[in-house]
Amino acid sequence: MKNVCVVTLLMFTSTLLSAAELYTEFPNAINKSEKYVFYSHGYIVEGENEKPVHPRWGVYDFPLIKKHLSDDFYNLIAYHRAARSEPFHSAKRLANDVNRLIEAGVEPANITLIGFSRGGALSILASNELKNNYIRVIVLAGCAGLIKEHSSVQIYGNVRSIYETSDQVGSCQFLIDRSESVTSFEEIAISTGKEHGAFYLPRESWIKPVKNWIVQ
């Protein structure tokens, strides 16, 4: 009996470790039983520098954010977009990659799109492309001009939002109000006083609820 328990524990541990992968490109091998999370960074990171500095909000530490978003319970896919990436093209690529996971057997409910600022807009646009009610979408200060200007864009499925009260980019409620296929919505307002820069570093105020939402 003792040996059986040890084997079971080792198998469980092995499963967790196999899911703790960070990809900067689409993975070559897909395990259909695992969770997959796409993180899309903000506009300032587009280009070659993974740690750009904003004159008001400081360093956007993309590598550190990826490190803190990584978890044993899911695979994290985080692309570094090229400079001047066209948002609708990037969103279609993201949607295509989600479909590749689904075609490989991954359940849509095990796929999460996370994005900050421009990356949040890309996650919304990808959801609009996919029109899938089971994929999870987490928007971090991403309901701004691009989404407001394109009133035909909707979001689908299980949606979560976090915004900073000192930031000009606020609630996603307007997007929810015009979207017909949202199955659930929860929104958190954080107050760090860091404006848009609240999401430039992996602060617990947003990292913790994001990871809790993913593993629910």
Average pLDDT, the chain: 92
pLDDT above 60 for 16: no
pLDDT above 50 for 15: no
* pLDDT (0 to 100) of residue 19: 55
pLDDT above 60 for 10: no
Average pLDDT of 108-130? Answer: 98
* Residue in 134, 104, 126, 129 with CA at minimum distance from that of residue 38: 126
pLDDT above 90 for 6: no
Q: Percentage of residues in the chain with pLDDT exceeding 90?
A: 90
* pLDDT (0 to 100) of residue 18: 46
Cβ atoms 66, 78 nearer than 8 A:
yes
Residues 62-84 pLDDT 10s: 999 999 999 999 999 999 999 99
pLDDT above 60 for 8: no
* pLDDT (0 to 100) of residue 197: 98
* pLDDT (0 to 100) of residue 36: 98
Average pLDDT of 12-30? Answer: 72
Q: What residues pair up with 140 in beta bridges, in sequence order?
A: 116, 162
Q: How many CB atoms lie within 10 A of CB 112?
A: 24
Average pLDDT of 8-27? Answer: 61
Helix residue spans in 36-144 (DSSP H): 62-69, 87-103, 118-130
- CA atoms of 110 and 165, how far apart (whole Å): 30
- CA atoms of 114 and 126, how far apart (whole Å): 11
* pLDDT (0 to 100) of residue 2: 41
* pLDDT (0 to 100) of residue 216: 84
All structural domains of the chain, each given as residue ranges with its CATH number in brackets, are: 21-215 (3.40.50.1820)
Residues 140-195 pLDDT 10s: 999 999 999 999 999 999 999 999 999 999 999 999 999 999 999 999 999 999 99
